[in-house]
């Protein structure tokens, strides 16, 4: 839980720096895109940690990793419990995984561009539209993670484990 709270705090710091929900600071598009990607990653990882479904320490999931996580989600019953609790739209786990992978695919390019092949730095690849989309997705993931984190420990346990105490599993 401490790691998830730290990740959420870092994500909130990124969005505060970028002015999400307030006045935006004049920051280059590539910096906004990188910060948006980081916020998505941190928010999604925190969400899954809060549900005791930790994601691997990667920026993008391989097909095999994605399949394993999807299988764990199905077996855990978390999706059904979110649906039953009216939280499936507020905390859309499948969409959050999609956004995690989407922005994970651009992580290295956003950070380094195609400099290893001397083609182009990030500021010659990305435009303001991509940065704005990254920030929208960052805000979406952060709101979902914060909503989940705002639940009581008993509510979290009920969603993650069906209300079963750790000692009863």
Whether the Cβ atoms of residue 139 and residue 40 lie closer than 8 Å to each other:
no
pLDDT, one tens digit per residue, over 35-86 is: 999 999 999 999 999 999 999 999 999 999 999 999 999 999 999 999 999 9
Residue 126: per-residue pLDDT: 87
Is residue 103 scored above 50 in pLDDT? yes
pLDDT, one tens digit per residue, over 104-161 is: 999 888 888 887 777 888 888 888 889 899 999 999 999 999 999 999 999 999 999 9
User: Quick one: angle between helices 128-149 and 93-105, nearest 10?
Assistant: 140
CB count within 10 Å of CB 119 equals 10
Residue 6: per-residue pLDDT: 81
Whether the Cβ atoms of residue 113 and residue 120 lie closer than 8 Å to each other:
yes
CB count within 10 Å of CB 41 equals 24
Q: What percent of the chain has pLDDT over 70?
A: 87
Interatomic CA distance for residues 85 and 124, integer angstroms:
45
Residue 11: per-residue pLDDT: 76
* Domain boundary assignment for the chain: 2-164
């Amino acid at each position: 839980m401490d790691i998830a709270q730290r990740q959420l705090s870092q994500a909130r710091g990124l969005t505060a720096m970028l002015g999400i929900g307030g006045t935006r600071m004049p920051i280059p598009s590539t910096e906004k895109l990188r910060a948006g990607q980081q916020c998505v990653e941190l928010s999604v990882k925190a969400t899954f940690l809060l549900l005791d479904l930790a994601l691997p320490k990667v920026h993008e999931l391989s097909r095999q990793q994605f399949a394993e996580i999807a299988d764990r989600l199905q077996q855990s019953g978390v999706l059904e419990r979110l649906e039953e609790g009216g939280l499936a739209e507020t905390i859309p786990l499948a969409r959050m995984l999609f956004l995690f992978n989407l922005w994970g695919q651009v992580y290295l390019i956003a950070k380094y561009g195609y400099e290893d092949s001397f083609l182009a730095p990030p500021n010659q690849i990305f435009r303001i539209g991509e940065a704005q989309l990254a920030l929208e997705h960052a805000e979406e993931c952060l709101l979902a993670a914060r909503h989940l984190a705002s639940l009581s420990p008993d509510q979290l346990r009920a969603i993650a484990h069906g209300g079963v105490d750790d000692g009863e599993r």
